[in-house]
Structure 1
Amino acid sequence: MRFMKPMPLNSISLKILLAYVAGMMLSIMLLVIVAVVLVKSNVLARMDLADAADELVKKIEFNSNGRPTGFDSSLDDRAWLYEGPQRETAYRILDDDGIVVAFSSRGENFWPVDGDLLRLARGSFTFEHEGNIFYGATKPFEHGGRKWYLQFVASARFLDILHKVALPRMVAGILVFGIVLFVAFGLCAYITLRYTLKPLRDVSESAATISPRSIDARLSTEAVPTEIAPLVDSFNRALERLERGYRVQQEFLGNAAHELKTPLALIRAQIELKEGGKNERESLLSDVTYMTRQVQQLLLLAEASEAHNYHFTSVGMQEVAHDAASYLQRMAETADVHLAVRAVGDVKWKADRAACFTLLKNLLENAIQHAPAQSSVSVEILGDTLTVRDRGPGVDAEQLPLLFERFWRAAHRRDHGAGLGLAICQEIALAHGWRLTAEQAEPGLRFRLSGGEEGGSERLA
């Protein structure tokens, strides 16, 4: 039957049930141990005698003068135990002055003349008579406006016999009670756990059905236990992040296909014109160069998006900036743009050097493409902040958020790039825990790269 199918060893239900079983078995063992200890010690005997004295007070008879005379045997069929010629039990009643006014058949000589029992106060006492130990209890009571004291004793061997008879019955009762409790509680716990954990099984089945075709699905937390709901919420948030990443990748592939479609069509047309004798070699090479650049930037973007491609070391940012400026020097000379690098002190950041070079190269290349002739592009490094500024026309305020989107191009750039350079810079900055922003510089545009502690990277002096 499915209801009784075995649970795996790492099941939460099995572990909870085992904990319940262990707790129940321990409780039963403790009950048995406590019962045995109480029976073997005189604590139980004193408690029993104190309870017996409380009951005996209710059965005391008084004469017309208000003095106690004994027990009313008509009220209890066990009165013979206290009145008959017994050697194992005895009682006596004393007034407030300690004078005995009534006693059992053991007589007055049975009672010792010193010890704790002469202290007329509620409590227990012990004495020895003819080699036997007697346990006793004193119970004060009032009648007729006077205070009286009942003292009742029983021999240790008499109590021992009673307890030996009672102990097996007590242990048997505890065991029967424990077995019944174990079966009833265990069954209830199993059913409760099964239906309590049912929402988790439903959530697991729902999670198993999620695929790229249904990545917008979310797990329901309506019937999930409160302790598990945060885990399900975290899983849903992880699904949201995966969905966004999946959508971005799908959009990226669509844009890449669209961007490569046009140059491929142009190359096809050039080849067809070549066959007709109307080929323009320069246009064909330009299209091939453009495609090569797009493919290269697509590869760089893919690499920048993967954290395992980075190797973090202590990087001198001034040195990297000079290397990037030297690499683009010919491009700057062609555009008649001056490159300047200024750094205060020897600033070192914890970063991937190759990624830093790519980031600065792309920022400088973007600035050169938008800088007017005979202007300058400057790189400033100050502590945990690096800025790249040009003196070009800049962009409108509403276009600033679009600068880092993939395949977006400004209208006044010199070349026909793929629009991926700044997107690559943003991916590199995010991978390092930095913050890359763009702001209007009046004139021109300033890119600000914030590293250090606020940006999430580690600044090394």
Structure 2
Amino acid sequence: MNQTANAMTMPPDAQQAYANETAAPVRRALFDSLSSRLLATCLLALALSLAVVLTGIGYVFAHYPAEVFASEDIEGVAHRLAKSVQFDVQGRPMSLTITPDIQKFRSAFAQDTGYQVDDEFGNALLSSMPMIVSVPHEGDWMNTPRCRFESGGRIFYVETVPIPGARKPYFLQVVTSEAFDTALIRIKRGTMPKAVGISFLVAALVFGATMLVTLRRLVKPIRAVSQAAAGITPQNLTTRLSLQSIPSEMRPLVASFNDALARLEEGYLAQQTFLAAAAHELQTPLTLIRGEVELQPASPATHQILHDVDRMSRQVRQLLHLMEVSVLQSYEFSQIDLEHVVRDVATHLARSAAARRVTIETSLRAPGKQIRADEGGLFILLKNLLENALAFAPRGSTVAIMADASSISVRDEGPGIDEAHLPFIFSRFWRAPDNRAEGCGLGLAICKEIVLAHGWQLVAERTTPGTLFTIRFSKA
């Protein structure tokens, strides 16, 4: 077993430390967080939506005539060509400008596409060379944007649009074969999956980035509440979680948690009040009993009774100390001189050490070191550790107190603590099976509460000989 298995790990913040100490490790899955689940669900919905749209477009292309879809593109080309017609000084159409993309496309389909400029009587003034077919001008052809006719056993479509800016009515007609419309739709349908795939990739990236930022902002208040809840310990049950910025769906949960804290605080205060009252009520009769016994004639029984009364009084004092150090509001933190407190503790227990024929040796390696602590709590912490060391130190040995800028250590030369017992020595009322020293198992439990309140770290380890207790200060 590791010698430091009983270390009470303490980060700078004491409340967070208590939560970290008592919290069990949690295994995190890929979709364990609410944010990842929402993001995955939204991306899946986006993919399904695009798949449905793509399937619908494919179905429409497969079951509707090609000319229905090609007519919009051809109409757009016709309007572009009509705007490019140029006139001579008499206002007659002289030429038109064909863009390179249209020219390239028409060269590939020279036998299936053509255009011509007509006057109001259907006379062709300009035409592609050669024109693929003779366009009929029957009925109200000038006001019929698109019509269908047959020539030489082939089906053609003609798109008629007026030429803007002309002095007289002139019209541009674009002719395409049915085979050309079908080929145009096939080209579109072939490029559509790629276009949809690229669109989906871009949409997923933009959507994912947007959702991540949005979700982080949404869960930020929840994380703040979680961190605040993790810092709530028996020492500060008066803390309540804030409902500010919490989503309405989460407010009942936070409110219920606050109500549970209120009930816990009420029960904890009742327990602490009972403990304090019982200790105070016991202290007075014990003092009276000791006075009555001391007035009696000396006898072996009198000595044993006084010893038992002193032991009970010490236990009562420890109960009071335990009650006080367990409440964070009992501490008054300030900058104190570490060397001064160490010397006070050593002086306070010098007589007890002399009675046991044990030497207290102090080693102060940080003169003038100031630490932020409760002076009374630090005094009790060092006194309990030193008393524990004196209780197990053999006669003629030395108990050493060593202090530097980052820690305080107390070491004795006794038999040492069994490594199997190290995980339990800071538990309340715990005593080793072979422990014959006086006490009720509260001294080290009090030490634990004090270091928790200060955000420090207390480590106990077996040495050769004896036991070493080390208090490490927080880095904050």
TM bucket (normalised to shorter chain) is 0.3 to 0.5
- Normalised by the length of structure 1, the TM-score is 0.44
Question: Which has the higher relative contact order, 1 or 2, with Cα contacts under 8 A spaced 6 or more apart?
Answer: 2
